[in-house]
């Protein structure tokens, strides 16, 4: 087995013994010594400032992290906007439902203050009881709003029917 270039240049005792017996390693050692001498005889070259600028321009640059910040900031803005919109919509729905409940309570108070409704109103009162059952189930805000609107419309019809029957 031949010596490596490092072993040839270091020339320890073991390598020296091998070099004396191996023609290939002797030739390689001679080549390395000539190459070293040629390199030492070269004049030092100092490139111009323009050459350094071109060398620096040719070196690959690290990707800038802030290039990803713009799309991330847009995504964050969208997420915040959607979350805020949903929060405001939820609060508005709660407020809207609270208004519908208050209106329903007012209609019921009017109905109680009147004399007992006629037999024609019984069907509408049954509808109101069915709506109340649905309201007691877990519903979305939108479903709750629609049910309260339907309940108020039915109560309004009952009040109108009762009022018309009292006039006659």
pLDDT tens profile 103-126? 888 877 777 676 655 655 677 778
Query: CB atoms < 10 A from the CB of 119, how many?
Result: 8
- Tens of pLDDT along 73-87? 777 777 777 777 777
Q: Which of 45, 59, 3, 6 is nearest to 26 (CA)?
A: 3
Residue 55 contacts by C-beta under 8 Å, 6 or more apart in sequence?
47
Which of 63-72, 88-97, 123-132, 136-145 has the least mean pLDDT? Answer: 63-72
pTM of the model: 0.41
Phi, psi of 139, deg, nearest 5: -130, 160
Residue ranges of the domains in the chain? 1-39, 92-167
Say if CB 27 and CB 5 are below 8 A apart.
Answer: no
């Amino acid at each position: 087995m031949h010596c490596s270039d490092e072993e040839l240049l270091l020339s320890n005792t073991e390598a020296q013994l091998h070099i004396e017996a191996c023609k290939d390693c002797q030739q390689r050692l001679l080549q390395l010594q000539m190459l070293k001498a040629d390199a030492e005889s070269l004049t030092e070259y100092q490139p111009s400032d323009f050459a350094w600028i071109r060398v620096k321009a040719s070196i690959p640059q690290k990707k800038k992290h802030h290039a990803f910040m713009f799309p991330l900031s847009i995504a964050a803005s969208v997420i915040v906007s959607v979350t805020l919109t949903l929060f405001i919509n939820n609060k508005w729905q709660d407020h809207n439902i609270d208004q519908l409940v208050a209106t329903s309570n007012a209609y019921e108070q009017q109905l109680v203050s009147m004399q007992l409704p006629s037999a024609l109103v019984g069907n509408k009162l049954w509808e109101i009881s069915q709506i109340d059952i649905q309201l007691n189930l877990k519903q979305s805000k939108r479903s709750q709003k629609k049910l309260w609107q339907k309940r108020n419309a039915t109560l309004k019809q009952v009040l109108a029917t009762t009022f018309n029957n009292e006039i006659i």
